[in-house]
């Protein structure tokens, strides 16, 4: 046994990707290809790597605020600029400002982070809502990073809809997820990214 507590190299078995594929099918009726799944040590690390690939220093990243504070940190700490697409408070709920999102993409901001379900407002975005975001992104050839880490904390009667369901019509998406929130497994430092684009997957792995 090593004095330093190191027990050898980490091995990622095929069963890792297979388990993600089976989970998405069982829980969300979503079809994920084994080839799309990349292991990672955390959702925030995955987002940072994606931002490094997809943006340059000084470029904007769209956030739908109010949103999880660490998104702000990962953008600022990597010398990107936060571009707010503030959620609209309507009665007792929050809605996406699609018109402003369209305007922001039109101004040249090419990446957004979609928190789905949304933290902290608790919205489980419907298929129609996510579809509209994807349609606007597609119009501007923009990229959508989707954080789905709270997908298994759904205790409502609303069906969670994964961004994976739109991969067949738009490849410029990446889904980040982990068992840490729903199953209290943050100590394992285990997460994954689902990337339909083969070229982006290669860049991410590098």
Q: Are 24 and 177 in contact (CB under 8 A)?
A: no
Q: Report pLDDT for 147.
A: 98
Q: Report pLDDT for 77.
A: 96
The list of the chain residues with pLDDT below 70 reads 1-9
Q: Report pLDDT for 188.
A: 87
Cβ burial, residue 145 (10 Å; 0-12/13-18/19+): buried
Q: Report pLDDT for 155.
A: 85
Q: Are 106 and 138 in contact (CB under 8 A)?
A: no
Q: Report pLDDT for 4.
A: 64
Q: Quick one: CA dihedral 14, 15, 16, 22, positive or negative?
A: positive
Q: Report pLDDT for 206.
A: 93
Cβ burial, residue 78 (10 Å; 0-12/13-18/19+): middle
Q: Quick one: CA dihedral 167, 173, 179, 184, positive or negative?
A: negative
pTM of the complete model = 0.94
Strand partners, 112: 62, 144
Interstrand relation of 37-40 and 191-194 (parallel, antiparallel or unpaired): antiparallel
């Amino acid at each position: 046994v090593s004095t330093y507590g190191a027990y050898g190299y980490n091995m990622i078995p095929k069963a890792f990707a297979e388990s993600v594929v089976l989970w998405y099918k069982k829980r969300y009726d979503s079809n994920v290809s084994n080839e799309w799944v990349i292991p990672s040590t955390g959702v925030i690390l995955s987002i940072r790597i994606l931002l490094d690939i997809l943006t340059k220093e000084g470029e904007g990243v769209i956030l739908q605020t109010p949103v999880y504070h660490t998104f702000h940190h990962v953008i600022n700490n990597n010398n990107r600029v936060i571009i707010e697409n503030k959620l609209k408070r309507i009665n007792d709920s929050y809605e996406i400002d699609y018109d402003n999102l369209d305007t922001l993409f039109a101004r040249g901001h090419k990446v957004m982070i979609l928190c789905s379900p949304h933290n902290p407002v608790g919205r489980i975005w419907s298929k129609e809502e996510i579809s509209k975001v994807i349609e606007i992104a597609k119009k501007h050839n923009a990229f959508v990073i989707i954080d789905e880490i709270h997908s298994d904390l759904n205790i409502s009667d609303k069906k969670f809809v994964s961004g994976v369901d739109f991969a067949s019509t738009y490849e410029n998406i990446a889904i980040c997820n982990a068992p840490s929130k729903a199953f209290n497994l943050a100590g394992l430092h285990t997460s994954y990214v689902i990337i339909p684009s083969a070229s982006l997957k290669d860049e991410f792995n590098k």
